[in-house]
């Protein structure tokens, strides 16, 4: 197995290295620091001879809010970078791709839960969402022209141990431990389909196995939890997991944020056997324990 990352400075490099520590020196794993925006040549230079059967493309500049402030950076990384990766795959003759898309492509589509066959022509309300939908269009093009087998997986608010430090659950736990108020954007009624990381990883593994055992594949699936949780309910659940009563600080809605994400997972269940197993309470308990241990480790 080969891993690639550009160590984008969105959050500290040391956190990413710590996340890799458990497998970085495994004899069946190798790692290369590569910037996809440099083009297919950068990938060719980094991986001149490695035999590769399939690519799991998780690389992207992440975050809805920052994309509103830096749209060119997001389109450059997520659209141009993805194009370079696809072109490198074409030149290398690598015929199978698992692409991480996002629930953000649904925008504020009024019909819920969100199905993969919905018309998303005018759905995107952030540059991040537009970049992910553009990525899906690119994979469709390469499937049509070059017979690339593809699964586009729309992830729904993945959380759990090693979560990015800027995301809500991670931020709220830190604030509660520090005795600080929780910012609530809007009236707290916005909702997200929180999906525990182990369930998402199981979906990825099932998608990889499907690709390896089938040909002529082009599928788009939701990898969500099929159970939206309002922001206020999430905050109170985090408070229970941490053992602190939250103090709320209400603020205006942020640009680019959607009202609700809600995954219809019937297709993923039927195609891949995907079935999320982790409740919000169990997932939050695992995250809070990881964050506590991690905070002690970094402090000591």
Query: How much is the pLDDT for 92?
Result: 94
Q: Identify the CATH number of the domain in which residue 94 sits.
A: 3.40.50.720
Q: With both helix axes pointing from N to C terminus, report the angle between 168-177 and 231-242 in degrees, rounded to the nearest 10.
A: 50
Beta strands in the chain (DSSP E): 2-5, 30-33, 55-57, 96-102, 149-155, 158-159, 182-185, 191-192, 195-196, 218-223, 229-230, 248-251
Of 231, 112, 229, 222, residue with least CA distance to 156: 222
pLDDT in tens, the chain (300 residues): 999 999 998 889 999 999 999 999 999 999 999 999 999 998 998 887 778 999 999 999 999 999 999 999 999 999 999 999 999 999 999 999 999 999 999 999 999 999 999 999 899 999 999 999 999 999 999 999 999 999 999 999 999 999 999 999 999 999 999 999 999 999 999 999 999 999 999 999 999 999 999 999 999 999 999 999 999 999 999 999 999 999 999 999 888 889 999 999 999 999 999 999 999 999 999 999 999 988 645 433
- Rounded to 5 degrees, φ, ψ at 35 are -105, 110
Question: Are residues 157 and 103 in contact, defined by beta-carbon separation less than 8 angstroms?
Answer: yes
Question: Are residues 258 and 106 in contact, defined by beta-carbon separation less than 8 angstroms?
Answer: yes
**Whats the size of the chain, residue-wise?**
300
What is the separation, in whole angstroms, between the first and last Cα of the chain?
Answer: 33
Residue 143 CA to residue 285 CA, distance in Å, equals 41
Residue 263 CA to residue 79 CA, distance in Å, equals 24
Question: SS3 of 3, please?
Answer: strand
State the total domains in the chain: 1
Residue 137 CA to residue 128 CA, distance in Å, equals 14
Catalytic residues: 128
The tally of CA atoms less than 13 A away on the side-chain side of residue 169 is 33
Single pTM value for the model: 0.94
Instruction: Return the DSSP state at 159.
Output: E
Query: How much is the pLDDT for 210?
Result: 98
Question: Are residues 24 and 174 in contact, defined by beta-carbon separation less than 8 angstroms?
Answer: no
Query: How much is the pLDDT for 10?
Result: 87
Query: How much is the pLDDT for 49?
Result: 76
- Supply the range of the domain harboring residue 172: 2-299
Query: How much is the pLDDT for 299?
Result: 39
């Amino acid at each position: 197995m080969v891993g690639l990352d550009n160590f984008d400075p969105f959050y500290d490099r040391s956190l990413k290295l710590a996340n890799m520590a458990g497998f970085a020196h495994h004899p069946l794993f190798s790692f290369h620091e590569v910037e996809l925006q440099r083009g297919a040549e950068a990938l060719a230079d980094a991986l001149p001879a490695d035999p590769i059967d399939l690519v799991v493309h998780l690389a992207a500049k992440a975050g809805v809010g920052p994309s509103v402030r830096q749209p060119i950076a997001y389109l450059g990384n997520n659209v141009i970078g993805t194009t370079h990766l696809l072109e490198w795959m074409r030149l290398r003759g690598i015929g199978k791709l698992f692409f991480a898309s996002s629930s953000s492509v649904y925008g504020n589509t009024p019909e819920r839960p969100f199905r993969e066959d919905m018309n998303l022509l005018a759905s995107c309300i952030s540059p991040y969402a537009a970049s992910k939908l553009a990525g899906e269009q690119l994979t469709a093009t390469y499937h049509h022209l070059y017979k690339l087998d593809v699964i586009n997986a729309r992830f729904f608010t993945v959380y759990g141990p090693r979560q990015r430090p800027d995301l809500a659950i991670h931020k709220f736990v830190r604030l509660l431990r520090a005795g600080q108020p929780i910012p609530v954007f809007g009236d707290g009624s916005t909702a997200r389909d929180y999906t525990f990381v182990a369930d998402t990883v199981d979906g990825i593994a099932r998608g990889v196995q499907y690709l390896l055992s089938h040909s002529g594949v082009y599928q788009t699936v939701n990898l969500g939890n099929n159970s939206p949780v309002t922001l206020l309910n999430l905050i109170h659940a985090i408070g229970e997991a941490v053992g602190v009563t939250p103090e709320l600080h209400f603020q205006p809605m942020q640009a680019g944020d959607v009202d609700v994400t809600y995954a219809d997972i019937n297709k993923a269940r039927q195609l891949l056997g995907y079935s999320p197993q982790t409740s919000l309470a169990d997932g939050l308990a695992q995250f809070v324990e990881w964050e506590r241990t991690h905070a002690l480790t970094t402090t000591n």
